Amino acid sequence: MNSVKIPPAVTEFYRDALTARAGGDPVAVLERVLADDFRSRNSQEAKDKATLMRQFAGLWKMMPDLKFEPQEMLAVEDRVIVRSVASGSPSGSFMGVECDGSRSFRIDTIDIHRVVDGRIAEVFHVEDWMTALRQISAR
């Protein structure tokens, strides 16, 4: 296997689309870094580019402190594996739990990105959402 540099699209994905910031625009970033036929896959479903853009626009509004912080990135051929920590303090209904922004979560995530022509064509992802639910539901 040949190691390669981390493509800028993957770095931008975490820094400018998955991590909320005042004045940022996740939709514009995702439009640029994701391939037109992009698919986000987990064990239950596959989302297209438009669905992911809507989802992150909503998450930024629900969690202005949302962060996905890469801890490790490994690139081999057309794949980039990212281990990150996601955190945020949701307000509103989050995964069936009513939140007021006073409780936060911090979870581990792992993504495998396939990059084609400099854009992310596909991502396989796993997030520890059960831990997030326990953290925001704790009394």
Tens place of pLDDT for every residue, the chain, 139 residues? 555 699 999 999 999 999 999 999 999 999 999 999 999 999 889 999 999 999 999 999 999 999 999 999 999 999 999 999 999 999 999 988 999 999 999 999 999 999 999 999 999 999 999 999 999 997 6
Q: How far is the CA of 57 from the CAs of 4, 51, 127, in angstroms? A: 31, 10, 19
Going by their DSSP bridges, the two strands 79-88 and 105-116 should be labelled as: antiparallel
CA atoms within a 13 Å half-sphere pointing along the CA-CB vector of 43? 3
pTM over 0.85: yes
